[in-house]
Amino acid sequence: MNKDFEMVIGLEVHAELKTATKIFCGCSTKFGAEPNTQCCPVCTGMPGSLPVLNLQVVDYAVKAGLATNCTIASFSKEDRKNYFYPDLPKAYQISQFDLPLCSHGWLDVETEAGSKRIGITRIHIEEDAGKLVHVEGHGTLIDCNRCGVPLIEIVSEPDIRSAEEAKAYLQKLRAILLYTGVSDCRMNEGSLRCDVNLSVRKKGSDKLGTRTEMKNLNSFAYVVKAIEYEFNRQVAVIEAGDAVVQETRRFDPATGKTSSMRSKEDADDYRYFPDPDLPPICISEEKRQELASQIPTLPDERKALYQEKYGLSALAAEFLVMRKEIADYFEAAATLTKYPLIAANLVNSEIARLTPEEGTVPVAPAHLARLADLSGEGKLNSSMCKEVLSILFKEDQDPDALIAKGGFEQVSDEDLLRSMAKEVVASSEKILADYRSGNKKAFQALVGQMMKRTKGKGNPALIQKLLKEEIGE
Ligand SMILES: [Zn+2]
């Protein structure tokens, strides 16, 4: 990463809304059906057909706006965005141009560097296009099932300055959409996709550079890789004395590189105009309040609560609230243990890792609470907790019975541990010399040897105390 330059990133996220039917007709939105079995004259743009707006789409979009601190427009409208592409039978997409439903929002993200607020320019509703399927030797086929599936497009301000911030923003946005229930955010099914706009400039400059756009990235890992590659590429272009070309670029996950797809004219000319078949959308103050009252406790509210009530760090609390299922689970366990902070650590490490995306935690909250208590009382160390949890994930059972049966009891016999510590210290001349010459990390090597001798069951606090005594500290 070149330290003289900084990146300026804005993200455009498309999220499919979780309605049962499409935005302007009664066709199903269910994913994975046989091609062209979920379409009708309206969503395939047959002459004479008329769209009727699905009001659930408006409700969901307004909820997404309220949950991201947006201003909700009392008056907005839908516009035709005219362009030709084979996946768009109507040759125009119904979207929103100058009067989006939601605008001027923001959300806060947490990274290693601290907390940061990212602005949200607008959220508007629109319809999805169909899907082109390229079949080797048979040309290209079209599947219209996706035509007219409702989307919200969430456009951020160019406030993002690193790949890490971009990822944190996407994760937070996804969490908010899942909490509010407006989208299932399944990236592997394309219901959440991201376009990255990126430019670079000399640090300290307030002038924006020429940007490129990378479209339809469907994994957070790809977003990070695409940003890192594109930053370095643009810096290299500028340092070679050339100019960055404004264009759309394709990211290839196989190579981790971006390549030019098409150059962009200065302004796209979509010839937007208000759709004459659709009346304006008017949202009364009453309606806005009704929708606001349906918004559940959001990630940030929970995060603040966990920091205050359980003393979690901002980063740990942020991680915990990202998945609603996991946060619900933690709350259930936290009320049952004397050591909620240990429970939080176990949830953030092992439980978050072992629980499949969209899955539920198979371990009873009371069982996790019991493990946290045993750990807090010094009867189980962290590696034993990990091992017990991996067994409970396969078959949930009473942890006390499992521990008695499986010999998980922590070794806290002071005499036994002291004699081991004597042996370890006596046989580790080199490590000791290293430690005494100032390398404090060398101490961990001694702890490691003790853990090896106790087969990972030694009480870590007692081991550290005894080792220090034997060294003479
Ligand atoms: Zn239809």
The count of other CB atoms within 10 Å of the CB of residue 74 is 12
Ligand 1 center from residue 147 Cα (angstroms): 8
Choose one of 291, 324, 344: the last residue of a domain.
291
Ligand 1 center from residue 45 Cα (angstroms): 9
Ligand 1 center from residue 48 Cα (angstroms): 14
CA dist list (Å): 362 to 222, 300, 351, 372: 30, 26, 10, 17
Ligand 1 center from residue 269 Cα (angstroms): 28
pLDDT at 68: 98
Same domain, 132 and 212: yes
Choose one of 230, 256, 291: the last residue of a domain.
291
Cα-Cα-Cα-Cα dihedral sign, residues 218, 219, 224, 229 = negative
> What's the rounded Cα separation, in Å, for the pair 341 and 345?
6
Same domain, 276 and 303: no
Ligand 1 center from residue 23 Cα (angstroms): 9
Residue 98: which of 78, 128, 126 has the closest Cα? Answer: 78
Ligand 1 center from residue 51 Cα (angstroms): 9
Same domain, 134 and 103: yes
User: Tokens in use for 239?
Assistant: 């340092």
Q: Which residues surround ligand 1, an ion (CB under 5 A)?
A: 25, 27, 40, 42-43
Same domain, 139 and 230: yes
pLDDT at 338: 96
Q: Is the pLDDT of residue 264 over 90?
A: no
Mean pLDDT of the region 331-356: 94
Residue type for 9, please?
I
Same domain, 402 and 422: no
Ligand 1 center from residue 84 Cα (angstroms): 20
E strand intervals along 99-211: 102-111, 114-127, 131-135, 139-143, 150-156, 192-202
> What's the rounded Cα separation, in Å, for the pair 23 and 366?
44
Domain range for 423: 414-470
Indicate the DSSP class of residue 25.
Answer: S
**Could you give the 3-state DSSP secondary structure of residue 110?**
strand
Ligand 1 center from residue 92 Cα (angstroms): 16
Same domain, 279 and 306: no
Mean pLDDT of the region 432-449: 89
Ligand 1 center from residue 185 Cα (angstroms): 22
Same domain, 271 and 229: yes
- In sequence order, what DSSP letters do the residues of 295-364 get, joined into one string? ----HHHHHHHHHHHH---HHHHHHHHTSHHHHHHHHHHHTT-S-HHHHHHHIIIIIHHHSPTT----S-
Ligand 1 center from residue 145 Cα (angstroms): 8
Tell me what percent of the residues of the chain surpass a pLDDT of 70.
99
Burial environment of residue 470 by CB neighbours within 10 A (0 to 12, 13 to 18, 19 or more): middle
pLDDT tens readout for residues 147-202: 999 999 999 999 999 999 999 999 999 999 999 999 999 998 999 999 999 999 99
Ligand 1 center from residue 31 Cα (angstroms): 14
Residue 85: which of 266, 277, 278, 262 has the closest Cα? Answer: 262
Ligand 1 center from residue 95 Cα (angstroms): 17
Whether pTM exceeds 0.85: yes
pLDDT tens readout for residues 8-32: 999 999 999 999 999 999 999 999 9
pLDDT at 268: 67
Burial environment of residue 324 by CB neighbours within 10 A (0 to 12, 13 to 18, 19 or more): middle
Mean pLDDT of the region 292-305: 96
Dihedrals phi, psi of 240, to nearest 5 degrees: -80, 0
Ligand 1 center from residue 126 Cα (angstroms): 15
- Any idea which of 59-68, 105-114, 274-283, 403-412 has the lowest mean pLDDT? 403-412
Same domain, 337 and 373: yes
Indicate the DSSP class of residue 447.
Answer: H
- Vertex 172 angle, CA 170 and 173, to 5°: 65
pLDDT tens readout for residues 398-420: 999 888 887 777 788 889 999 99
Dihedrals phi, psi of 472, to nearest 5 degrees: 95, 35
Q: Is the pLDDT of residue 361 over 70?
A: yes
> Count of domains in the chain?
3
Q: Is the pLDDT of residue 266 over 80?
A: no
Ligand 1 center from residue 472 Cα (angstroms): 80
Is 190 within 8 Å of 171 (Cβ atoms)?
A: no
Mean pLDDT of the region 123-132: 97
Hey, which residues does 131 pair with through a beta bridge? 143
Ligand 1 center from residue 28 Cα (angstroms): 8
Same domain, 366 and 449: no
Is 321 within 8 Å of 299 (Cβ atoms)?
A: yes
pLDDT at 403: 85
> What's the rounded Cα separation, in Å, for the pair 4 and 55?
50
Ligand 1 center from residue 49 Cα (angstroms): 10
Same domain, 234 and 363: no
Same domain, 400 and 421: no
pLDDT at 440: 85
Look at the block and give the residue holding tokens 């949930």.
396
Q: Give how far the C-alpha of residue 109 lies from the chain's centroid of Cα atoms, to the nearest Å.
A: 11
Choose one of 371, 390, 406: the last residue of a domain.
406
Ligand 1 center from residue 42 Cα (angstroms): 5
pLDDT tens readout for residues 50-94: 999 999 999 999 999 999 999 999 999 999 999 989 999 999 999
- In sequence order, what DSSP letters do the residues of 405-450 get, joined into one string? HHT---B--HHHHHHHHHHHHHT-HHHHHHHHTT-TTHHHHHHHHH
Is 44 within 8 Å of 86 (Cβ atoms)?
A: no
**Could you give the 3-state DSSP secondary structure of residue 72?**
strand
> What's the rounded Cα separation, in Å, for the pair 80 and 12?
19
CA dist list (Å): 225 to 163, 257, 263: 8, 8, 22
Same domain, 429 and 364: no
Ligand 1 center from residue 142 Cα (angstroms): 15
